[in-house]
Amino acid sequence: MADKKHKNSLPVYLLTGIFLLILCIAVCIGILIRPYEKAQTYLNILFMDQNMKISPSSGLNGLVIKENNIETTPVSDIPVEEQHFYDTGEIIRPSFGEQYAVLKCDDISLSVPVYWGSTAELLERGACQASSSAVLGETGNVVIDAHVNTFFADLGRLETGNTVVLYTSYGIFTYEVSEKIEFLNTNKKYVLPTEDDRLTLYTCEAQVLGTSDNRTGVVCTLVSKQFYNPAEGANP
């Protein structure tokens, strides 16, 4: 009788062992996914030529990426006699795939290039601004997102009152975090055009396996627009 019970319990032990093995493999994969994705993001940069255009050998054909050398010196570090800014000014509209801004937030040690438009290739290189949103300097909702496992990994650390600055070739735009947000990817409430000046930053909710349908981020209120050149026809 004892031998019979022992034989009957063998399949249970075997299935339990297989289950535990599968569970351990799944956990290990989950732990390794994020470091791999981070490494892959930066490795892909190696396949670009000196003009930051995608090399045919990279397999990422069809998109020309334009990089711009954008000055990011804080206004506080610019000598007073050299601070020539205007409340309204000339806006240079970017082309799709062009880096037209640098987003910085000292509170979370964030500095990331911002590209106009959104594709998988662009998201590997920085943050992306929805081309349906307002260009910096225009009135409306400036909507920017990036991957949570790379450039926006610390976005959740932003708190109300933190300062976010966007530098462009034509001016400096300063915002203050006014609200932390969470929403489903099917909810367009926070990414739709608005009549007020605001900045919306968001990313996917971090999770070990797969991609989440939840989004987290912040809404920021405009503090100042500082253009380098006055609007056409305006008195300097």
Would you tell me how many other CB atoms lie within 10 Å of the CB of residue 180?
14
Is 160 domain-assigned?
yes
Going by DSSP bridges, is the β-strand pair 198-204/214-227 parallel, antiparallel, or unpaired? Answer: antiparallel
pLDDT at 110 over 80: yes
The strand pairing partners of 212, in sequence order, are none
Is 141 domain-assigned?
yes
Of 165 and 13, which is predicted with more confidence? 165
pLDDT at 200 over 90: yes
Give percent of the chain with pLDDT exceeding 90.
Answer: 61
pLDDT of residue 43: 37
pLDDT of residue 3: 54
pLDDT of residue 62: 65
pLDDT of residue 207: 65
pLDDT of residue 222: 98
pLDDT of residue 10: 62
Give the CATH number for residue 82: 2.40.260.10
The parent domain of residue 114 ranges over 48-227
pLDDT of residue 20: 76
Q: Of the ranges 34-48, 155-169, 200-214, which is most confident?
A: 155-169
Is 7 domain-assigned?
no
pLDDT of residue 28: 61
Label residue 129 by pLDDT band (50, 70, 90): very high
Is 158 domain-assigned?
yes
The mean pLDDT of the chain is: 82
pLDDT at 199 over 50: yes
| Vertex 201 angle, CA 200 and 204, to 5° | 130
pLDDT of residue 236: 53
Give percent of the chain with pLDDT exceeding 70.
Answer: 73
For 21-43, the pLDDT digits (tens) are 777 776 665 555 444 444 443 33
pLDDT of residue 83: 86
Is 35 domain-assigned?
no
Structure tokens, 234: 């305006």
Is 193 domain-assigned?
yes
Is 198 domain-assigned?
yes
Question: What's the number of CA atoms in the CB half-sphere (13 Å) around residue 160?
Answer: 4
Report the C-alpha gap between 174 and 122 in whole angstroms.
24
Is 128 domain-assigned?
yes
Contact residues for 216 (Cβ-Cβ < 8 A; gap 6+): 155, 156, 180, 181, 182, 202, 203, 204, 205
Contact indicator for 233, 88 with CB cutoff of 8 Å:
no
Number of domains in the chain: 1
- Residue closest to 129 by CA, chosen among 121, 139, 118, 141: 118
